[in-house]
Chain A
Amino acid sequence: MNIEKLGNFTLDDAPKYEDILQCMRCGFCLPTCPTFALTGRERSSPRGRVALARAVAEGKLEFNQAMKEEAFFCLDCRACTTACPSGVQAGSLMEICRAQASQQQPLPKWQAGFRDFILKKMLPNPDLLETSMLPARLYQKLGIQWLVRHSKLLKLGPKWIDKAEGMMPELHQPLRQQLPEFSPAKGEKRGTVAFFLGCVMTLMYAEVSRQTVRVLNHQGFDVITPKTQKCCGAPHLTEGDPETARQLASHNLDLFLDLDVDAIVTDCAGCGAALKEYEEMLAKREDHQRLQIFHSKIKDISEFLIEVGIRTEGLKPVNKIVTYHEPCHLCHAQGISKQPRDIIKSIPGVEFREMKEANWCCGSAATFSLKFTEASQKILDRKLDNVKNTKAEVLVTSNPGCHLQLDWGLREADMAQPVLHLSELLGEATPD
Chain B
Amino acid sequence: MVAKNILNRLCLKLGKENVISEKEDLLVLGYDATPGLHHAPDIVVYPTSTEAVQAAMQIAREEKLPITPRGSGSGLSGGSIPAHGGMVLCLNRMDKILEIDAENLTVTAEAGVITLNLANAVAEKGLYYPPDPASQKISTIGGNVMEDAGGLRCLKYGVTGDYVMALKCVLPDGSIITTGGKSVKDVAGYSFKDLLISSEGTLAIITEVTMRLIPPPQAKQTMLAYFDNIETAGKAVSEIIAAKIIPSTMEIMDKTTINCVEDYVKIGLPRETAALLLIEVDGHPAVVAEESDGVQRVLKEVNATEIHIAANDEEALELATARRMALSAMARVSPSTLMEDATVPRSYMAQTFAEIQRLAAKYDLTVGTFGHAGDGNLHPTVLCDERDADQMKRAHAFFDDLYTKVLEWGGTVSGEHGIGMAKKDYLARQIGSGGVEVMKRIKKAFDPDGILNPGKIFADD
Contacts and interface: CB of A to CB of B under 8 A. Distances in A.
Interface in A6-43: 18, 21-22, 24-28, 30-31, 40-43
Contacts of B29: 42
A55 B27 contact: yes
B309 interface: no
Given A21-B335, A24-B331, A40-B46, A31 B25 contact: no
A52 interface: yes
A18 B333 CA distance: 12
Nearest to B31: A25
Interface in A39-95: 40-43, 47-48, 51-52, 55, 60-61, 64, 66-67, 70, 85-87
B72 A60 contact: no
Nearest to B339: A24
Given A27-B73, A86-B328, A51 B138 contact: no
Interface string B42-81: 0000100000000000000000000000001110000000
B35 A85 contact: no
B328 A27 contact: no
Contacts of B296: none
B33 interface: yes
Nearest to A60: B27
A21 B331 CA distance: 11
Interface residues of B, number: 31
Contacts of A42: 25, 28-29, 73
Nearest to B331: A86
Contacts of B193: none
Contacts of B46: 40
A213 B72 CA distance: 48
B135 interface: yes
B114 A22 contact: no
B299 interface: no
A67 B337 contact: no
A364 to B, nearest CB: 25
B373 to A, nearest CB: 21
B278 interface: no
B430 interface: no
Q: Looking at chain B's contact residues, is the secondary structure mostly helix, strand, loop, or mixed?
A: loop
Q: How large is the interface on A (under 10, 10 to 19, 20 to 34, 35 or more residues)?
A: 20 to 34
A31 B137 CA distance: 7
A66 B22 contact: yes
A27 B74 contact: yes
B335 A31 contact: no
Contact of A52 (B27, B33, B72, B332): B27
B347 interface: no
Contacts of B331: 22, 24, 85-87
Contacts of A64: 24
B328 A85 contact: yes
Contacts of A87: 328, 331-332
Given A26-B74, A85-B328, A66 B135 contact: no
Contact of A67 (B24, B33, B327): B24
B335 A66 contact: no
Contacts of B336: 21, 24
A27 B335 contact: no
Contacts of B25: 41-43
Interface in B107-158: 114, 135, 137-138
A30 B70 CA distance: 15
Contact of B33 (A21, A22, A26): A26
Contact of B72 (A21, A30, A70, A86): A30
B386 interface: yes
Contact of B24 (A24, A25, A52, A86): A52
A52 B335 CA distance: 18
Nearest to B117: A31
A86 B381 CA distance: 14
Nearest to A55: B27
A70 B22 CA distance: 14
B138 A52 contact: no
A47 B32 CA distance: 10
Contacts of A26: 33, 74, 135
Given A18-B335, A85-B328, 19 more contacts: A22-B331, A24-B33, A24-B337, A25-B32, A25-B33, A26-B74, A27-B33, A27-B72, A27-B73, A27-B74, A30-B72, A30-B138, A40-B46, A43-B27, A48-B28, A51-B28, A61-B23, A85-B331, A87-B328
Interface of B: 20, 22-25, 27-29, 31-33, 35, 46, 72-74, 92-93, 114, 135, 137-138, 327-328, 331-332, 335-337, 386-387
